[in-house]
Amino acid sequence: MPDFSQKIIRWQLVHGRHGLPWQGTRNAYRVWLSEIMLQQTQVGTVIAYYERFLNRFPTIAALAAAPGDEVMQHWAGLGYYARARNLHRAAKQIVEQHSGRFPEQFDAIHALPGVGRSTAAAVSAFAFGQRAAILDGNVKRVLARHFGIAGDVKSKPVTDQLWEIAGQELPKTNIESYTQGLMDLGATLCTRSKPGCLLCPVQKSCVAHHEGLTDSLPGKGMKRETPHRNIQMLVLIDSGEVLLEKRPPTGIWGGLWSLPECAVELDALEEAKSRFAIRAKKIKKWSTVEHGFTHYSLSIFPIEIRVTARQPRAMEAGLVWLDLADIRRAALPAPVKKILLALADSHYLPDA
């Protein structure tokens, strides 16, 4: 469909997004950083994180040389923390294998930790003007609707078909505007619900629009029940300080400081005494905090425990006592920060 890409390009030049902080640059590091942050995260959320991250790590070399803890601190609250770990690993790889220069070839970009085929294509297009097809979630929706591709878009047969179409529709020129146009169209008009078909530049050739299939395309697989997990979080308080424990480097909130956890069937007070060699006398149950992840939901039961004496074990590596007055500035997982802000407020702490 030769007209498709040209209509997308013309629409993007007039109606697309042009003022985002990572646009208007060929700096591959900045383009790559924005693409990683935008994975499964809304533009409005990313902007502030992107600017703060760049202020602290303005170059690949600065990012590669930074301690892992500091990288995670600047990512805290953005979610999907494997992205930050992979970003840090990739920066080190670029320094070690490419002398600190961001690679220009698609295969070399794709080989970086955390960089999939679509992300590599977006970086290739925006940083180097190379023709490469993207296929993120928004673009899958645009192509599935426009070309009438039925079936679960997460299945391999449908994904393969969409990749083929994505490659066939690449324009010979203006690859940046076309790539940005597909992203903008999916984000602003061809949305999951209530798409703005009347304003769409390719509505005349859109199968879903003409056949009344916008609600059923793209197709979805059978909905699976989301697993649920319950956990107790130990809120150990001593003289205006709270005990934090560093999480393992991989998994949920990997590498971040968080509240210690224990299974709900365990006695929280006895568990705290045993694990951290403390004495404590007062315990209080806080309201349950609900939190959702991509693959499961979580109910957190915070248990406040008043510490009367600490032993050396509570000062070992992987543990830290944080002043409650510093909670508002601390980089913590979102639900943990919510719990501790409520705790700080209950202690009538002044605003930061």
Classified as helix, coil or strand, 51 is helix
DSSP 192: S
* Confidence (pLDDT) at 331: 79
Tell me, rounded to whole angstroms, the distance of Cα 209 from its chain centroid: 32
Query: Has 271 been annotated as catalytic?
Result: no
Q: pLDDT tens-digit profile of 93-111?
A: 999 999 999 999 999 999 9
Helix and strand numbers (H, E) in the chain are 14, 8
Tell me what pLDDT residue 295 has. 82
Non-local CB neighbours of 212 within 8 Å, separated by 6+ positions: none
Please report the domains of the chain, with CATH numbers, ordered by start residue: 2-211 (1.10.340.30), 228-346 (3.90.79.10)
The pLDDT, as a whole number, for residue 325 is: 87
107-156 tens-digit pLDDT: 999 999 999 999 999 999 999 999 999 999 999 999 999 999 999 999 99
| Between 78 and 251, residue with greater pLDDT | 78
Choose the catalytic residue: 35, 176, 271, 304. 35
- Note the pLDDT of residue 348: 44
Q: What is the pTM of this model?
A: 0.84
SS3 content of the chain, % helix, strand, coil (to 5): 45, 15, 40
Which pLDDT score, from 0 to 100, does residue 313 have? 52
Average pLDDT over residues 187-191: 96
Q: What percent of the chain has pLDDT over 90?
A: 75
Residue 298 confidence class, pLDDT cut points 50, 70, 90: very high
Query: Which residues partner with 245 through β-bridges?
Result: 258, 319
CB 257 within 8 A of CB 84: no
The first and second tokens of residue 49, run together, are: 């994180």
pLDDT at 346: 73
CB 144 within 8 A of CB 134: no
Residue count (the chain) = 352
Render pLDDT for 118-127 as a digit per residue (tens, 0 to 9): 999 999 999 9
Q: Is the pLDDT of residue 76 over 70?
A: yes
User: Chain-wide mean pLDDT for the chain?
Assistant: 92
| For residues 182-203, average pLDDT | 96
> What is the structure's pLDDT at 180?
97
How many other CB atoms are found less than 10 A from the CB of residue 251?
A: 10
For residue 67, CA distances in Å to 51, 85, 89 come to: 19, 11, 11
- What whole-number distance in Å separates Cα of residue 182 and Cα of residue 169? 11
Is 153 exposed, middle or buried, given 0-12, 13-18 or 19+ CB atoms closer than 10 A? buried
| C-alpha triplet 11, 207, 1: angle, nearest 5° | 60
